Amino acid sequence: MLNKTLFAKVLLLAGISLGTAACSSSEQTQATELSASESVASFADASIKEAAAQYKYLMSRLPQDRLPKTYHAERDELETSGSEWWTSGFYPGTLLYLYEETGDQALYDEAIRVLGLLEKEQHNTSTHDLGFMMYDSFGNVHRIKPSPAYKQVLLNSAKSLATRFNPKVGAIRSWDSAPEDFIVIIDNMMNLDLLFWATKETGDSTYYDIAVTHANTTMQHHFRPDNSSYHVINYNPATGEVQEKKTAQGAADESAWARGQAWGLYGFVDAYRETKDENYLQQAQRIADFTLHHPNLPQDKVPYWDFNAPGIPDALRDASAAAITASALLELNLYVGETKKKEYLQAAESILRSLSSETYMAAPGTNGGFILKHGVGHKPAGTEVDVPLTYADYYYVEALKRYKALAEKEQA
């Protein structure tokens, strides 16, 4: 269990200030004399309160039949999507997280309204992103207020996702492509939670087996000797042999795309939680250590969009990669020994401190209603570059929730 001494050390490192000047040394001394867990919870509460206010502003701007993707400040314009887009579940998921923390019924009501737009995607077999789309939305509402209807949507979604599994390859197809190709991206690790959940709910091990097989295949083929991850592996669908190892959203085929490393870290933490397979825990730690010890990781621990991006140290940062990493580390620290526990908690706290600063957290009523600034979606394609991203917000709020829960557990 985490102890108050560890929380106090982390807070001392933080010197947290939400949009105000840094604390004086006497103020820091006074802060450390407070209950460390109470101070942590207070920081998280303040950040969540600001996030909730932003999302109520976003709600006021969003067209009724659309879902938010990003915002273009130069023309004060939201970019939105239909329910079929891979990010469609993050907006209602974030609303539900914020509702849990604030009790604001308007946030819950908006999430329920949007779920009506998403519901039809339960039968979508053309995408591997049903975990993002349906588990982060319907999964959260079903966790908060269980319902047979929500459960059925999730089960149908799991069935749809399972149709993309190829036993010869041992993986779930990511992007549809030419018949001779079978594309699997590291992001796909994030969709396995839906399958693990389906087996727990139904007793049907098929979903669990698919998830474990996919994780094992990913662990075998996606990672380099230095524990960085390729973005894309192209398999032969008939033989399962690897045909290509490359990137799509990274700087180069052999570079370490920052969000890809975060997806892998988070995904293998999830896989360990659901299976208790030590191989997954070790893989998660290897990814975490690659990330946290990389010589190109900036001091504030918000990574460049690619660890090998051209132009470092002037390359763009990716707040989404940072938020995903922070959330993953806050769970990973629960499963490791004291030395790593301290390292991972301090790293997550440092990331949250950075993301909660004026550099990355939007001022109230700005940024189109999104919480975080400076995300990088697809730099090579020139889309969603240095803009807010709905998934950055989701994992940031999730990380705050996890951070607060650790403090409250210690305070109890």
Q: Which residues are catalytic?
A: 129, 187
Residue 73, CB-side half-sphere exposure with 13 Å CA sphere: 13
Residue 364, CB-side half-sphere exposure with 13 Å CA sphere: 10
> Do residues 70 and 79 touch, judged by C-beta distance below 8 A?
yes
Q: Which of 95, 104, 92 is nearest to 138 (CA)?
A: 92
> Do residues 296 and 307 touch, judged by C-beta distance below 8 A?
yes
Terminal Cα-to-Cα distance of the chain (whole angstroms): 12
Q: Which of 59, 71, 72, 54 is nearest to 365 (CA)?
A: 54
Whole-number Å distance between alpha carbons of 139 and 208: 17
Q: What is the dihedral of CA 215, 322, 332, 139, to 10 degrees?
A: -60
DSSP β-bridge partners for residue 172: 165
20 three-state secondary structure: coil
H or E element, residue 58: helix 36-61
